[in-house]
C-alpha cells in the first residue's frame, strides 16, 4: 500500500518515464475529484492532449483556463455535454475516434445522487451516469486504448471512480442468457429498492461495475482497469439534489461530518484525491492482464509491487482498490468468483449489451 509520498514520487516520474503527447479522455471533469485528477494529470505530463467533458460550459471554461496556466504546452479540448444519454456518449466517442489513433488514459467520474428519475432513453438516471455511460464510453474507445505503440513504455489504462473494494451482494439478478425473463430490478428503480447511498445499494452497483469491467478486460488484455474508492472527499456531488430534506442533509455533511473527518484525518483533501487518481491512472502497479511488454505505466511499483486483481491473482488486469491503493480483500474476491462460476457475471454483461442495442442499435459504435 503506497504512502502519499510514494504516490507523489511516482507521479513526478510521469514526465520522464512516459512519452510526451499522451492522449487522455476525462468524463465528469469540471468539478470535484474529476477536475482535480485532470489538473494533476496535466501538471505531470509533457505536451498532453486531453479531451474533457462536463455538463456546464461555464465550469468547462474555468477548468480550461486552469489547464492552460498549469501546462501551456498541452492541448485541451472541452465539450459541454450530458453524458447521461448514450446518444451523447456515442457522439463524443465518434469525434475522438475521428481525430485520434490512440487513447492512453480514460478517466471516468460521471455521477449524480439524484434518484427516481428516468432519462429520455429509459434508464434510471444514477445508473445512466455512473454505470451505462461509463461502460459505453469504454467500449467505444476500446480500439484506441488497445492500439499498439512504438514507444518502449507507454500507457493503456481505464480508471473509474466509484467505490472499489465496497462490492456487495447483488440485490437483483439478471436473467441468464438462455432465459426469456425480464423480471429484474438491476437499476434499483422500485420504490422499495435501497438508494445507491446505502451500503446495500452501493454494494450492488459496485459489484455490477466490477463484473462489467472484467467482461471488457477479456477483450482488451493490454489494458489495465482500475475501479477505485476515492475515500471521503469534500466535493460538489450533491449539487443537483432538490428538496429541503436533501439540503438539510447536505448541510450536515458539509457543516459537521466533513469537519470532524478532517480533525481525525479521515477526510481526503480534493487535491490529494486528484494525485491518488493520477497514480491509479499511470502507475505500473496496475498493468493489463495480458503478456504485453510495456504499456504498463510508470515503472517501479512504489508501494508494494504489482497489485492483486479482482480474481485474487497478481497483475490480472482488473483492480478494485481503496483510496490508499489497497486491493480488495478475500471476501470481495470470493463474492465475485461466485458470480463468475454461476454464470451471473456473463448474464450481467449480456444485460448491459442488450440495453446498448436497445438504445443505440449496437454494442458499440
More confident residue, 239 or 90: 90
pLDDT at residue 144 tops 50: yes
In this predicted model, what pLDDT tens digit does every residue of 187-220 receive, in sequence order? 999 999 999 889 999 999 999 999 999 999 999 9
pLDDT at residue 247 tops 50: no
Place of cell 510526451: 20
Asked if the structure places residue 188 within a domain, the reply is yes
Q: How confident is the model at residue 45 (pLDDT cuts 50, 70, 90)?
A: very high
Distances (CA, A) of 34 to 132, 209, 255, 267, 277: 18, 18, 23, 17, 9
* Average pLDDT of the residues in 107-136: 96
pLDDT at residue 254 tops 60: no
More confident residue, 180 or 223: 223
Q: Which residues contact 85 (CB under 8 A, 6 or more apart)?
A: 119, 120, 121, 128, 133
* Average pLDDT of the residues in 117-129: 97
Distances (CA, A) of 4 to 108, 118, 210, 274, 325: 22, 40, 25, 12, 10
In this predicted model, what pLDDT tens digit does every residue of 297-313 receive, in sequence order? 999 766 779 999 999 99
Percent of the chain scored above 90 by pLDDT?
A: 81
pTM of the prediction?
0.91
* Average pLDDT of the residues in 159-178: 92
CATH number at residue 264: 3.40.50.720
Asked if the structure places residue 271 within a domain, the reply is yes
What letter does residue 258 receive in the DSSP assignment?
H
pLDDT at residue 243 tops 70: no
C-alpha cell at 112: 449524480
What is residue 263's predicted lDDT score, i.e. its pLDDT? 40
Q: How confident is the model at residue 49 (pLDDT cuts 50, 70, 90)?
A: very high
Asked if the structure places residue 119 within a domain, the reply is yes
Number of structural domains (the chain) is 1
* Average pLDDT of the residues in 273-281: 98
Q: Which residues contact 41 (CB under 8 A, 6 or more apart)?
A: 24, 26, 48, 50, 105, 107, 278, 281, 282
What is residue 252's predicted lDDT score, i.e. its pLDDT? 42
In this predicted model, what pLDDT tens digit does every residue of 51-79 receive, in sequence order? 999 999 999 999 999 999 999 999 999 99
Q: How many Å apart are CA 165 and CA 280, to the nearest integer?
A: 14
Query: Angle at which helices 86-99 and 344-360 pack, to 10 degrees?
Result: 90
What is residue 1's predicted lDDT score, i.e. its pLDDT? 83
What is residue 246's predicted lDDT score, i.e. its pLDDT? 40
Q: How confident is the model at residue 291 (pLDDT cuts 50, 70, 90)?
A: confident
pLDDT at residue 251 tops 80: no
Asked if the structure places residue 365 within a domain, the reply is no
Nearest to 288 by CA among 213, 363, 360: 213
**Owning domain of residue 277:** 4-360
Asked if the structure places residue 198 within a domain, the reply is yes
Asked if the structure places residue 221 within a domain, the reply is yes
The SS3 call for residue 75 is strand
* Average pLDDT of the residues in 304-329: 96
What is residue 177's predicted lDDT score, i.e. its pLDDT? 63
Amino acid at each position: 500500500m503506497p504512502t502519499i509520498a510514494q504516490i507523489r514520487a511516482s507521479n513526478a516520474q510521469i514526465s520522464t518515464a512516459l512519452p510526451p503527447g499522451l492522449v487522455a479522455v476525462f468524463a465528469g471533469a469540471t468539478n470535484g475529484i474529476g477536475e482535480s485528477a485532470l489538473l494533476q494529470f496535466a501538471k505531470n505530463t509533457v505536451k498532453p492532449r486531453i479531451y474533457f467533458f462536463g455538463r456546464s460550459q461555464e465550469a468547462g471554461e474555468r477548468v480550461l483556463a486552469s489547464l492552460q496556466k498549469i501546462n501551456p504546452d498541452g492541448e485541451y479540448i472541452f465539450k459541454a455535454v450530458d453524458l447521461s444519454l448514450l446518444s451523447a456518449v456515442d457522439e463524443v466517442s465518434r469525434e475522438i475516434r475521428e481525430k485520434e489513433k490512440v487513447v492512453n488514459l480514460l478517466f471516468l467520474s460521471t455521477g449524480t445522487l439524484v434518484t427516481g428519475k428516468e432519462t429520455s432513453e429509459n434508464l434510471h438516471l444514477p445508473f445512466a451516469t455512473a454505470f451505462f455511460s461509463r461502460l459505453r464510453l469504454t467500449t467505444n474507445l476500446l480500439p484506441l486504448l488497445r492500439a499498439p505503440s512504438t514507444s518502449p513504455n507507454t500507457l493503456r489504462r481505464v480508471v473509474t471512480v466509484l467505490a472499489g473494494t465496497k462490492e456487495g451482494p447483488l440485490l437483483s439478478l439478471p436473467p441468464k442468457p438462455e432465459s426469456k425473463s425480464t423480471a429484474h430490478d438491476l437499476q434499483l428503480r422500485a420504490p422499495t429498492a435501497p438508494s445507491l447511498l446505502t451500503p446495500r445499494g452501493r454494494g450492488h452497483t459496485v459489484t455490477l461495475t466490477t463484473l462489467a469491467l472484467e467482461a471488457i478486460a477479456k477483450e482488451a488484455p493490454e489494458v489495465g482497469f482500475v475501479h477505485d474508492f476515492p475515500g471521503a472527499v469534500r466535493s460538489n456531488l450533491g449539487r443537483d439534489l432538490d428538496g429541503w430534506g436533501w439540503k438539510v442533509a447536505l448541510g450536515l455533511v458539509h457543516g459537521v461530518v466533513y469537519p470532524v473527518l478532517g480533525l481525525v484525518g479521515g477526510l481526503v483533501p480534493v487535491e490529494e484525491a486528484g494525485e491518488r487518481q493520477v497514480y491509479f491512472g499511470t502507475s505500473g502497479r496496475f498493468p493489463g492482464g495480458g503478456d504485453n511488454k510495456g504499456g504498463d505505466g510508470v515503472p517501479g511499483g512504489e508501494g508494494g509491487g504489482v497489485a492483486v486483481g479482482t480474481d485474487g491473482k497478481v497483475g490480472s488486469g482488473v483492480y478494485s482498490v481503496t483510496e490508499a491503493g489497497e486491493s480488495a480483500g478475500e471476501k470481495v474476491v470470493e463474492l465475485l468468483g461466485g458470480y463468475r462460476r454461476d454464470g451471473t457475471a456473463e448474464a450481467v454483461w449480456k444485460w448491459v449489451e442488450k440495453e446498448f442495442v436497445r438504445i443505440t442499435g449496437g454494442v458499440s459504435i
